[in-house]
């Protein structure tokens, strides 16, 4: 149960789908905050509202529990290759002390500022990523309609400086007609709702 796990852990990492899931796990008498030991470290890695990150930080602080919001940038292939980027908010000293944990799961990590800064930076990253993917789709549709050979156009586009490295793999998938999701559309929709809020 959450109660038993929280009580016996020095470090708790979570990566959940949304704000409601974070609150469900951490809040209330059976939640992690009520049952974690003083001195524990929570590294919450979900893409949620910065306000949720700040709420969790404050709730932890009241119980003597350190909390970091450390959002993950990178999809399944990046996780498999160990090339994730972590974007952190919270106390700098606590963030720095967690470097051995970060080293085990990511290629790079950045402290962005106080609580909520990690999740805010993740929304900035996802805004650029989503807009970039939309721009590539629009430009490719234009090129194909104007007579360019689809496969050649995508091959060359992936080698230009205007395409971000994160998009290169997506273009390779499109060339292979592989549209299997690596980041479900519902999550991108959620992130853009958070950005607009």
- Which residues have a catalytic role annotated? 122
- Residues paired with 87 in a beta bridge: 71, 110
What is the rounded CA–CA span in Å between residue 25 and residue 12? Answer: 12
- Residues paired with 124 in a beta bridge: none
Residue of 120, 125, 122, 160 lying closest to 140 (CA atoms): 160
Helix%, strand%, coil% for the chain, nearest 5: 55, 15, 30
């Amino acid at each position: 149960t959450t109660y038993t796990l929280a009580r016996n852990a020095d470090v708790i990492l979570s990566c959940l789908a949304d704000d409601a899931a974070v609150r469900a796990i951490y809040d209330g008498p059976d939640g992690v905050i009520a049952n974690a030991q003083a001195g524990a470290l929570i590294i919450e890695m979900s893409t949620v509202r910065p306000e949720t990150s700040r709420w969790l930080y404050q709730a932890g602080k009241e119980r003597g529990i350190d909390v970091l919001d450390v959002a993950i940038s990178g999809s399944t292939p990046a996780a498999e290759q160990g090339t994730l980027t972590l974007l952190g908010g919270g106390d700098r000293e606590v963030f720095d002390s967690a470097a051995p944990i970060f080293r085990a799961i990511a290629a790079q990590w950045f402290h962005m500022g106080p609580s909520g800064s990690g999740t805010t930076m993740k929304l900035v990253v996802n805004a650029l990523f989503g807009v970039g993917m939309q721009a590539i789709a629009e430009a490719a549709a234009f090129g194909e309609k104007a007579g360019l050979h689809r496969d050649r156009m995508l091959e060359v586009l992936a080698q230009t400086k205007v395409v971000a490295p994160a998009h290169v793999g997506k273009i390779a998938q499109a060339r292979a007609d592989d549209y299997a999701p690596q980041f479900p559309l519902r999550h991108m929709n959620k992130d853009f709702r958070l950005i607009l809020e």
